Amino acid sequence: MASSVAAPLERQLGHIAGVNEMTSASYLGSTSITLQFDLNRNIDGAARDVQAAINAARANLPANLPSNPTYRKVNPADAPIMIIALTSDITIAEKLYDAASTIIQQRLLQIQGVGQVNIGGGALPAVRVEVNPTLLNSFGLGLEDVAQCEPAKCESCEGQLADDHTTADILANDQLLKAADYKPLIVAYRNGAAIRLSDIANVYDGVANIRTAGFLNGKPSIPIVILS
């Protein structure tokens, strides 16, 4: 994230007039860049320059970014107006985080006076693949072979049923969402036999970032930080 995302953005943002200080922090799957402007600089004009810099840097950013970089006009010294923590005895933390980031956060941002809502303490659900290097080497494979093991996805219809009066498209949902769907994927062939992902890796349902956690009174929780 630091070299492929933060660096191109910093090069463009550094050209903006009135920037007194620029700091950035990169984590697994995310980068945050903070710009401090001169007090004489109009904040709305600075925001337009920031958007223009983001647009200029887009050509140098990875093509597989899940979304374009965004900016917010905030005062880093402002304290949150409210912190809410989600806990549950029957729902796992990743599902709470999913609900908080896709539903609750959007609703809170619609409230007048709310400027920013940050979700922490977890990550979105994801399928995790832990490759066993010993098994990988025993088959004469490398990590690049595993990286290329992606299911083919068809964006068009699978076919049609038609008669003299009606035509119906045949559609199929070929998205793989669970670990059980990924385990049978074929990585390579050796001596005429298929080497599947489950043969060389531990594939399980988990979260995108396993190094984040939140707790409230000793119980796992998802904190929601609301800023004005």
200, with CB counted inside 10 A (0-12, 13-18, 19+), is buried
Task: Label residues 13-41 b or e (16+ Cβ within 10 Å = b).
Answer: beebeebeeeebebeeeebebebebeeee
pTM of the shown model: 0.59
List domains and CATH numbers for the chain: 1-73 (3.30.70.1430), 125-207 (3.30.2090.10)
- pLDDT, residue 156, reads 52
Question: What stretch of H or E contains 159?
Answer: strand 159-162
Per-residue pLDDT in tens (0 to 9) along the chain, 228 residues: 888 999 999 999 999 999 999 999 888 778 899 999 998 888 889 999 999 999 999 889 988 887 788 888 877 677 888 999 999 999 888 888 889 988 999 999 889 888 788 888 888 888 899 999 999 898 888 888 888 876 654 455 567 788 888 888 776 666 677 888 889 888 888 888 889 999 999 999 888 888 888 898 888 899 999 987
- 3-class SS of residue 226: strand
Residues 205, 210: Cα–Cα separation, whole Å: 12
Candidates 69, 64, 66; CA nearest to 10 is: 69
Question: What stretch of H or E contains 108?
Answer: helix 105-109
- pLDDT, residue 154, reads 47
